[in-house]
Homo-oligomer: A and B are copies of this chain.
Amino acid sequence: MTAHTNIKQHKHCHEDHPIRRSDSAVSIVHLKRAPFKVTVIGSGNWGTTIAKVIAENTELHSHIFEPEVRMWVFDEKIGDENLTDIINTRHQNVKYLPNIDLPHNLVADPDLLHSIKGADILVFNIPHQFLPNIVKQLQGHVAPHVRAISCLKGFELGSKGVQLLSSYVTDELGIQCGALSGANLAPEVAKEHWSETTVAYQLPKDYQGDGKDVDHKILKLLFHRPYFHVNVIDDVAGISIAGALKNVVALACGFVEGMGWGNNASAAIQRLGLGEIIKFGRMFFPESKVETYYQESAGVADLITTCSGGRNVKVATYMAKTGKSALEAEKELLNGQSAQGIITCREVHEWLRTCELTQEFPLFEAVYQIVYNNVRMEDLPEMIEELDIDDE
C-alpha cells in the first residue's frame, strides 16, 4: 500500500457523512426553466479570463446554461482590424490576453445593449471607474429577473458615502448583484494554473426558487473549474471590501519592494494592511464578517497574491525606482490598463477625510499621501508606526 493510498483511506473516515465534490454538483441541479443566458461585460485581461472560465462551463453544463456566452468589448483598432473581429475569428484577445486560446462559444460583441439582449446573468468585469457610464447605458434595458456578479474592485463614492459596487449595480439597475473576488492574478488563471476564488451572493427577496433562479449551486457551476476552485458564501460586503482595499496595500508593498527593503518589510505591510481592511469593514460595513478577511481566498489570499505580483505592485515599484508619478508609471507599464489602487486610495482618503478618520488608517493614508502629495516613501515606517499601548 502506498502512502498516497493511505491518504485516500483517511478520507474514507468521512464515509458516514458522504460529501459530494464540486465537480459532481451538476448532478444535483434540476433546472425548471430555460437555460440561463450569460453575458460578460468587459474584456480586459481579467474580463477575458473570466469569460473563458464561464464559456468552458456553459458548454459543459448546457442543460443549465446557454452555451453561447457574449462578451462586451470596448472595441478598438489593432492595426487594420477591430479587436472584436480578431477575438471572433482567431479566438484570442491579442491585446489584453495574448497567447491564450478562447472557447469558440465565447462571442465578442462591440454593442453593449446587443450583448446583453436576453441575458439572465450579467458578469461585470471592467475597471471600476467605467461602471457609472456603463450602468447608465444599461438603464431601462435590464429585466428585473436578471442577476449580476461584479468582478470589479473598488468603491463608488457618491451622495450615500462609500458604496459597494454590487450595491451600486443593484440600486441603479434594480437587479440583485453578488461579487467574485479571490487570489486571481489573471494571467495565471488564464493559463489554467491551479487557484481558488470566492463568490458571494445573497438570495434576493424575489428569489424564484430552486432550479428557477440563480443561487449558490448555479454560481458554483458557472465559475468552478478543476483549475479554479470556487467557494460560494453570503458575505458580499466582506469580499468586496477586501478586493478593493488590497490594491492600496499592494501599492505600499510595491514601494517597499522598489526601495529594496525585503520580504519582512513587505509582510509587515500586508499584516498592517489586513488589519486596516478588517477595521474598515467593521466600521463602515458591519454586516461583513471578520472570518471572511482571514479565511477566504478573497481575503488574505488575494491580499498575498496581489502584493506579490500584479499591476499595483509593478506601478509602485517603478515609482520607487524611477521617481516617476503613479500616472506616468501606469501609462508606461500597463498597456492601457489601470492599477486600481491609484483610484481606490484616493476614494478611501476622501471618504475617511469626510468622516475625520484618516488617522485611524495610517497605511491607507500614507499610500494616498505618497501617490498624490509627493510624500517621501522612505517615511513609510514612521507614518504607519503603531500607537504603543504598552507604554501608556
Contacts and interface: CB of A to CB of B under 8 A. Distances in A.
Interface stretch (A99-107, A109-117, A382-390): A382-390
A270 B303 CA distance: 11
A29 to B, nearest CB: 10
Interface residues of A, number: 80
A309 interface: yes
A387 B21 CA distance: 7
B275 A25 contact: no
Contact of A294 (B216, B217, B274, B374): B274
Contact of A231 (B220, B359, B374, B386): B386
A195 B265 contact: yes
Contact of A391 (B13, B24, B375): B24
Contacts of A372: 3
Contacts of A19: 387-389, 391-392
Contact of A262 (B2, B6, B188, B392): B188
Contacts of A231: 386, 390
A300 interface: yes
Interface in A181-196: 183-185, 188-189, 191, 193-196
B20 A388 contact: yes
A14 B359 contact: yes
A291 to B, nearest CB: 9
Contacts of A14: 359, 387
Given A25-B390, A194-B265, A196-B268, 8 more contacts: A3-B374, A10-B365, A19-B387, A185-B262, A194-B264, A264-B305, A267-B301, A268-B297
Contacts of A160: none
Nearest to A383: B7
| Copies of chain A in the complex | 2
Nearest to A295: B275
A365 B267 contact: no
Contacts of A294: 274, 293-294, 300
Q: Which of A6, A267, A392 has its CB near the most chain B CB atoms (within 10 A)?
A: A267
Given A300-B271, A369-B4, A261 B193 contact: yes
A358 interface: yes
State the 4 A-B residue pairs at the shortest beta-carbon distance, nearest first: A3-B373, A195-B264, A271-B301, A267-B305
A266 interface: yes
A80 interface: no
Nearest to A184: B264
Contacts of A389: 19
A297 B263 CA distance: 13
A392 B52 CA distance: 28
B305 A263 contact: yes
A145 interface: no
Contacts of A375: 2-4, 7
A77 interface: no
A188 B4 contact: no
Nearest to A303: B267
A77 B352 CA distance: 60
B7 A266 contact: no
Interface in A349-373: 358-359, 362, 365-366, 369, 372-373
